[in-house]
Structure 1
Amino acid sequence: MSLNLALSAGISGLQTSQKGLDLVGHNLANVNTVGYTRKIFNPESRVLNGAGVGVQTGGIIRRVDTGLNSQLRMELGRYTKLETQYTYFQRMQDLFGSPGENSSISHQINDLAQQYETFTLEPDKSTQHLSVTRTIQDLTGKFNRTSEQLQQMRRDADQDIAAAVAEVNAHLKNIDTLNDQITQGIATSGDVTDLQDKRDQELKGLESLMDVTSFERAGGALVIYASGGGTLLDTDPVTLTHSASTSVTAVDSYGGSDFSAISSNGQDITTEIGGGKLAALIELRDKTIPSYQSQMDELAAKLKDTMNEVNNRGTSYPTLANTYDGSTKFIAPGKQTMELTSGDVQISIFDTEGAQAATTTLQTVMGGTGPFTVEAVAAGVQSWLTTASPAGAGLSSATFNYDTTTGTYDINLNSNDYSLAFRDQVGSTAGSTAKDVSIAYDRDGDGTADETVSGFSNFFGLNDVIASDESRAIHDSGVKSANWTPNVNGTLQFSIAGATTATTTSLGTLNVQSNWTLSDIADSINSNSTLSTTLEAEVVQDGEGYRLRIKNLAGDDMEITQAGGTGLISQLGMKTSNAGISGTLALSDTLVDDPARLSSGTVLYDSDTGQYKLSTSDNTTAKEMAKAFQTPQSFDAAGGLTTGQRSLSDYAALSLNQNADEAATISTERDYQKTLVNSLDLKSAEISSVNMDEELADLLTWQQMYNASAKVISTVADMLDVLNSIIR
């Protein structure tokens, strides 16, 4: 070897060892840098014409396991999804409480039942009336707060979605910038390993937000796709868009386009997101929280219907009931009809002593069982009230009026000396056994009954204990599977109030085929040139099933009936929507103004005198109400809970238990996933992180190489000096 080659070999050794020392220093300086991976390179022999002429450096590489890191990112996305769900379930747990806690709805329903038990002992005490009504207000307030907080959580979830989408866009933009720097570095043979570390961290953050797929092109650029196949980053990053809602109600749904879509290049990819934080937030907003809202609404509706049905049977004597404010809405009482299909209604006027002043039956007033228009029944009862002349006093100013603003009926005796009471019984004979009459209600007046209602006073909602801000502008079907079909043809009719009480205005009709799914019906309404101007139909998720929801865009009360039958309506289970009813439950205005109007007794029959009477010690209705809380009710499917017979408190406890079970399951899965992610992270760190011992060992190696190379150069220098002296 010539001295020049020896000198070149020594210099190459110095340069290589210097680079190695620099790399060790770089690794040690980043020992605590998040996402930094250990950088290494291996020296290579440099050969010229078959002879070794020193050493050269290979490319700097990262010590990483790409397969392991890919699995880590995927499992991290699953953990982030569970962590997000866990956070929201903790909030729901705080909201619902547990069945044994005093603040739970189940416990408060039991409290109300116990209040009625006490009420039965002293039905004439004003303090008992007040205690019961206050307990009702506590319970309805709990429903209100629960509904409000559930919708607040949905709003928060939607706003968190917007924040997460912004993070996704930031990650995509950063990865795009790093792509440019990496491809440029590779093209110029530069060191891009630190840039790749940063890009891996950005990708890790992206996959914690949503599930994506990615691959690296030959030039070093990373290409990213959404799980549904849409491109998120190729030459340029795609900007995802989502506008957060400022307020959310129980009837708002993604299916109804009440929430902004997560869009990519104008395409809705919301349903394509299956992992990460975004998937959890979407599921919480559109399925999980609405399911619990649906359960609360089903319970609230059943509580309201049960209590009102019982309270409408009773009387508040010794407090006189000389006014009644109805709650049932009628869009055309001059057209809509009712028919007594069983029993009769005893209509009685009582004086301040509870003695009968006048009495008759509905069949006597109307001349039969009907059908009669609702308007005709009200007019007939009013006519009897004004001519009954109890005890010769007369009630000539008594009214049974229809309020065109509210669509409800009110009764006012316009007298402080008498009270009015209704007693449903099995027959028209005086003293017949008390039992709710059955009323066939024809909503569209086409001659076919659309619904059966129990109780005359209950039919009009004259003596309700619980009110709600109901609107007949929204109707829901029962919960069905995604591919459910009615298996029966039928024509749906949509109508609102007309110019007079005897007319309705048709919004149009829809011929539904037996093989149509809920989506087919919704699409047919929305594509119908007539119906779509006033109606909007959507399919909303409820638990693991779906509901067909039809809205009147103007917000007017409407009726949805079936022409000439009820088969299709019955199959659909179509009725006024309960969505959000739990948020509007309240003690009726009548009882707010006068708690003593709470029903305690009922109309009694004195067989000795052959007359009806009222008694201050009668607790019949109070006992029936106390019993009603323990009696199994028929609940419809809602929020994942199936149809079945359950008591009110049992249903509430079942809902709370489901929430607790789901929270516990998610907590367990979250803990397992956290352990798995930590294990994978540790394994990745064992491969990729900087190890002080390894770096010190390399430091000694490079130092020895540096010393050896320096010795070679020193020796060559001495030899050159000797050679130079000889030449001289």
Structure 2
Amino acid sequence: MAGSLTLALRTAQSGLLTNQEALNSVANNIANVNTPGYSRKVVNLQQNVVGGIGSGVEVAGITRKVDEGLLKSLRIESSTLNAFDARDPYYARLQDLFGTPEDNTSLSHIVAEFNNSVETLALNPANTLEQSEVMRKGEDVAMTLNNLSDSIQELRLQTDADIAQATVRITSLLDNIGTLNNELISGSAINVDVSDLRDSRDLAIDELSTLIDIRYYSRSDGDVVIFTESGRTLLDNTGATLNHPQSSAISATSSHSEGNISGIYVGATTTANDITNDIRDGKLKGLIDMRDSILPGLQSQLDEMAAQLSASVNLAHNSGAPHPGLQTATGTRTFIDGANQSIEFDGTSDTTIALMDSIGNQTATTTVRTLLGGNSGTIDTVASSMQTWLRNNGATGATVAVNADGKFAINMNTTTVNMVMRDETATADGSTAANATIKFDSNSAVPGVFEETVSGFSNFFGLNDFYVNNQGDEIHDTGILSSTYTLGSNTTLSFYNTVDTPAGAGMGTVNLTAGQTLDQMITAINDASVGVTASKVTDGSGFRLRLAESKGRDMVVTANNTFAADVGLKVAEVRSASTIAVRSDIVSTPGNISRGALQWDANKGAAGEYLMSAGDDTSIQALARALTATTQFDQAGGLTALNVNFTTYTTSIISFNSSAANNNQTGLDYQTSLTNSLQAKSDNFRGVNLDEEMTQLMIFEQAYGAAARIIASVQKMFDALEAVI
């Protein structure tokens, strides 16, 4: 009898303790009904059997109500959402910077104002106020391009700082998840409830998925292994340490591919541990895209605009001169070896050099072909023959030479005569004015092979440029190449700089093999160790091959075939927008703007003479036409090649980037809706339902009360038994 009563007492006691634990779980559910990340806990009961006889009830375990498949999908979509979201504030700032084409501060409006000022000056070329206005409006264009470029690089620097912060947070989360893994394993081993630890770990994984694309799986002991979508392990027993050395400054030439922006490293700071290009989603992906693709693409568009604007304006400006001519002229082209680099006039074209008095009348004239004794000559020969002629014709102290900076410099050193140049179709005096075609042999390696063809003699040297920049020739870029580009034929590249000139052995050569991919070509150039760093720079949907002189010296790159022309290899336009400026002497003296051009009057003198007229508008009209004429713009930053005028191109830049911002917003809106929908489903499944919990509370409360009554009844029976004894 006592044994049966004891068993009944223990059975009732198990019911009391089990329902007490169940009530505690219900109370915990109710208390955390609004706690983020909390999942409803379910108490699983099972019959306790001892020796084949039922002996009450026990808690088999406490499980979480979580749909793991839904949770994985939610984390994947959340990662995509945060990539869009990371880009959104930067797009908003870009929209503020560029505005709309109708804004008075927009680039397109400022370019249009520059054109208006030029057209106004053309009506009265001698008007000093209008000359100053052209200078000022030209400066406005340059400064706007400078400021936009600076702002883009500042945004890139900010994204780089955000990337560094994100890597610190990822490392912290991985460390936290690793700690929770260890606690889960320890708790599970001694049958301690670890469901709340799993909730804490889920919260950390949720946040981690917003920062970087992750995939994961759980082992049988309860710990979780985390890796990126590309397969890089982030957590396996211990969490990896992510680090990104933040940049202190970023310029238009800075890129991760070139190595002047640090990577995102898992563990030691080595190339093998750089996962920057492996990250496919999350906030980090959005920031990387903005820093390495979107913002550089916009910079590329601005550089293309600045380069073409400079080229068109300078070609027109070099066709004329201020009245009555030039006293000094320093070119903008850099020569690394004037004794061996040479030019050749194409066809019958020639360039007249005339000396004018203070009112614009001719005092002496010759042509470049006449000075050279033919259609070609080295740069040094051009300089020495010009200097001799100037000194023999009234400018006795004139100097013409390639200066220490490698620029072709002319100084009359007298105020009695002024120099003017005019390209013509032939050598004879008074031949039709037309830009001469100048072919440039930059290395003299193969006689008769020219690496570049330029329109205009003065324009070739940059002797009378309106726009200048302070960038060197140390960086060369190709045009945009597709990701599937392969080299068409065997090619030998030769490299020269200001030290290793064409007169000597040069820097070295690199042999490239037909069929090589862009990456293989880069490896071949870098492995050759010729003092050139090759890299692949993202531009829009394609890539540019970039060649940089390792010590920052001016460089010449030539090929033994048509490779350079085929891929558009030339001195890089990168930095054009950030460095463009109106020539300093024009800023200080707007009267130095070219308005007129050298004219031929067949009725002057015995057989005709050249003259410069103060009221001539030939050059300024050419400049006005250049600003409104269609110009061929190359593909840049995702913007397709266009043949439009400058105002239209600037409008295209604004429209392109406005469209990109709208597309990002559309993606963000869609992804927000999708993620919220999945979040709602997950919350409904895992969340606490108060009505359901109150029902459970009543059930466990009744069971607890019944167990208590059983204990009371058994107690009475024990009392009765004791009284009988």
When normalised by structure 2's length, the TM-score is: 0.95
The aligned counterpart of 2:485 is 484
How is 1:395-434 mapped onto 2 (pairs within 5 angstroms)? Answer: 395-404=395-404, 406-434=405-433
Alignment of 1:458 onto 2:463: no
Task: Show CA shifts across 1:130-181 (max 9, x none).
Answer: 1111111111111111111212222222222221111111111111100111
How is 1:55-454 mapped onto 2 (pairs within 5 angstroms)? Answer: 55-266=57-268, 267-317=273-323, 320-342=325-347, 343-369=349-375, 371-388=376-393, 394-404=394-404, 406-446=405-445, 447=447, 448-454=449-455
The aligned counterpart of 1:590 is 585
Out of 637, 643, 646, the position equivalent to 1:645 is 643
Unmatched runs of 5 consecutive residues or more in structure 2: none
Task: Show CA shifts across 1:599-634 (max 9, x none).
Answer: 111112223222211122211211111111121112
- Per mean C-alpha deviation after superposition, the further-off stretch among 436-445 and 394-403 is 394-403
Distance 2:57 2:518 in 1: 75
Task: Show CA shifts across 1:558-581 (max 9, x none).
Answer: 111134xx4122123211111112
- AA of the residue aligned to 1:460: F
Question: For the Cα contact (< 8 Å) 1:518–1:547, is it kept in 2?
Answer: no
Instruction: Summarize the Cα distance change of 1:37–1:312 in structure 2 as closer, same or farther, 3 Å threshold.
Output: same
The aligned counterpart of 1:391 is none
- Matched position secondary structure for 2:343: strand
- Matched position secondary structure for 1:41: strand
- Matched position secondary structure for 1:299: helix
Give the superposition deviation at 1:42. Answer: 3.5
- Matched position secondary structure for 1:469: coil
Task: Show CA shifts across 1:227-260 (max 9, x none).
Answer: 2223221222222232111111211222212222
Instruction: Summarize the Cα distance change of 1:429–1:193 in structure 2 as closer, same or farther, 3 Å threshold.
Output: same
Give the superposition deviation at 1:509. Answer: 1.1
Task: Show CA shifts across 1:612-665 (max 9, x none).
Answer: 111222112111111111211122222122334222222222222111111100
- AA of the residue aligned to 1:178: L
Task: Show CA shifts across 1:361-382 (max 9, x none).
Answer: 222222222x211111121122
- AA of the residue aligned to 2:334: K
Distance 1:490 1:69 in 2: 54
- Per mean C-alpha deviation after superposition, the further-off stretch among 674-683 and 482-491 is 482-491
Distance 1:222 1:340 in 2: 73
Distance 1:289 1:154 in 2: 7
- Matched position secondary structure for 2:458: helix
Distance 1:103 1:242 in 2: 37
Task: Show CA shifts across 1:376-399 (max 9, x none).
Answer: 1121122111112xxxxx221122
- AA of the residue aligned to 2:592: R
Distance 2:305 2:514 in 1: 31
- Per mean C-alpha deviation after superposition, the further-off stretch among 179-188 and 280-289 is 280-289
The aligned counterpart of 2:690 is 692
Distance 1:561 1:45 in 2: 87
Question: For the Cα contact (< 8 Å) 1:469–1:581, is it kept in 2?
Answer: no
Task: Show CA shifts across 1:476-513 (max 9, x none).
Answer: 112111232342333221112359x9935510112222
Give the aligned length: 713
Distance 2:675 2:502 in 1: 69
Question: For the Cα contact (< 8 Å) 1:496–1:505, is it kept in 2?
Answer: no
The aligned counterpart of 2:595 is 600
The aligned counterpart of 1:561 is 558
Instruction: Summarize the Cα distance change of 1:513–1:51 in structure 2 as closer, same or farther, 3 Å threshold.
Output: closer
The aligned counterpart of 1:682 is 680
Give the superposition deviation at 1:224. Answer: 1.3
- AA of the residue aligned to 2:258: G
Unmatched runs of 5 consecutive residues or more in structure 1: 389-393
How is 1:465-504 mapped onto 2 (pairs within 5 angstroms)? Answer: 465-498=466-499, 503-504=503-504
Question: For the Cα contact (< 8 Å) 1:332–1:498, is it kept in 2?
Answer: no
- Matched position secondary structure for 1:223: strand
Task: Show CA shifts across 1:22-72 (max 9, x none).
Answer: 112212222222211111114333445665443322311111111111111
Instruction: Summarize the Cα distance change of 1:198–1:209 in structure 2 as closer, same or farther, 3 Å threshold.
Output: same
Distance 1:441 1:555 in 2: 23
- AA of the residue aligned to 2:382: V
Distance 1:456 1:327 in 2: 13
Question: For the Cα contact (< 8 Å) 1:486–1:571, is it kept in 2?
Answer: no
Distance 2:255 2:541 in 1: 15
Question: For the Cα contact (< 8 Å) 1:240–1:262, is it kept in 2?
Answer: yes
- AA of the residue aligned to 1:9: T
Distance 1:49 1:512 in 2: 84
- Matched position secondary structure for 1:506: coil
Distance 2:63 2:359 in 1: 101
What is the aligned-residue identity percentage?
A: 37
- AA of the residue aligned to 2:475: I
Question: For the Cα contact (< 8 Å) 2:444–2:502, is it kept in 1?
Answer: no
Question: For the Cα contact (< 8 Å) 2:387–2:400, is it kept in 1?
Answer: yes
Give the superposition deviation at 1:710. Answer: 1.9
- AA of the residue aligned to 2:424: Q
Task: Show CA shifts across 1:405-450 (max 9, x none).
Answer: x100221222223321111111223222211001111111231121
CA RMSD of aligned residues (A): 1.8
Distance 1:513 1:129 in 2: 55
Distance 2:259 2:370 in 1: 53
Distance 2:649 2:620 in 1: 22
- Matched position secondary structure for 2:239: coil
- Per mean C-alpha deviation after superposition, the further-off stretch among 161-170 and 263-272 is 263-272
Alignment of 1:29 onto 2:27: no
Distance 2:628 2:244 in 1: 48
Out of 573, 576, 594, the position equivalent to 1:578 is 573
Question: For the Cα contact (< 8 Å) 2:78–2:210, is it kept in 1?
Answer: yes
Give the superposition deviation at 1:329. Answer: 0.8
- Matched position secondary structure for 1:314: coil
The aligned counterpart of 2:516 is 516
Alignment of 1:659 onto 2:654: no
Distance 2:353 2:595 in 1: 18
Give the superposition deviation at 1:3. Answer: 2.6
Task: Show CA shifts across 1:516-543 (max 9, x none).
Answer: 23222221121114x1xx2211121111
Question: For the Cα contact (< 8 Å) 2:395–2:417, is it kept in 1?
Answer: no
Distance 1:49 1:235 in 2: 41
When normalised by structure 1's length, the TM-score is: 0.95
